[in-house]
Structure 1
């Protein structure tokens, strides 16, 4: 989980996040924020409305994003970061208690003694979560304009096939590389990690497609609604191209 804490904040367990001042990268509703909040709500009784949220750049000043809507419930306090401020530096200085981000702040990468992860052994926590729920959280989708799809009905299938072919080539390279212990990656025990992931996630350890990710899609749609980002609960069928529903 991408949750970082200032060690002087008193946050030692997920429940301690309630009532805290929390930074979030770029948008209150960014995808790598929706998912951790939702899991924390499901698993630990987290209540985002009890917190004060500060939105901004990680280790660089960021102007407010104005090309997408930024909805949030009226009972949730959300403000943009002060001009010239950076969330990573604020976390290290204790100006915010915690940070939710898709990317690692510099203070984490540099092993600052002031900060740490909420879940230090995050691979074990995440693997246990997948084993228990069958959900591998997703982030990005591919979007096609409706007018293009109307002109080229096979476009969605073609794009999907192209992504699948590219993924297959990558996976085959990793698997073939096991013959040589994947020395080209310069990562010790990389082949062992591949075996470990396949044992947990299956031969298609990074599935593409709608049906292959339905549980994860359903849960993130629920999280959007529960967190007040959408005004109703959307369904998979409403949002995705019908021809690809069984992929």
Structure 2
């Protein structure tokens, strides 16, 4: 199978999973040491808001420069791909925060336990800073 076919098939599998579950896998998480959270109340919220603002600025910059052949990437057919994704996904493809990712987080924690990576089924409240639970 060619790399193009592998990439296409992977995209089809990802889209099918999203259609069936409503879950689009997260790209990253942010980890902050417990000592820092203890010593700096509000740090988790501050970091969350800083990353959210950066993501929103990047998305807006892309939307503003979407004129044909003026995007900031060298990927052929990027605008067509963005249009296609826009029809299938919500406007914010990678939402930040617990609320927007609750289903994906619970699924990840369930898989961790089912696959023997954790000795018990962890809850979101067990692994995320209390002050971030309202994000």
Report if TM-score (shorter chain) is over 0.5.
yes
Structure-2 residue corresponding to 1:155: 43
Matched, 1:192 2:94: no
CA contact (8 A) 1:182 1:190 kept: no
SS in 1 for 2:120: coil
Contact 1:198 1:204 in 2 (8 A): no
Higher strand share: 1
**1:134 and 2:19 matched:** no
TM-score by length of 2: 0.87
Give the aligned partner of residue 73 of structure 1.
none
User: After TM superposition, where is structure 1 displaced by more than 2 Å over at least 4 residues in a row?
Assistant: 179-184
Higher normalized helix content (fraction of residues): 2
Q: Which has the higher contact order (CA 8 A, sep 6+)?
A: 2
Q: 1:187 to 1:201 in 2, by over 3 A?
A: same
Unaligned runs of 5+ in 1: 1-6, 8-107
Aligned length: 135
Rg comparison, structure with higher value: 1
Change (3 A) 1:142 1:183: closer
Contact 1:210 1:245 in 2 (8 A): yes
Following the alignment from structure 1 to structure 2, what is the Cα–Cα distance between the partners of residues 139 and 180?
Answer: 27
Matching residue within 121, 125, 130 for 1:242: 130
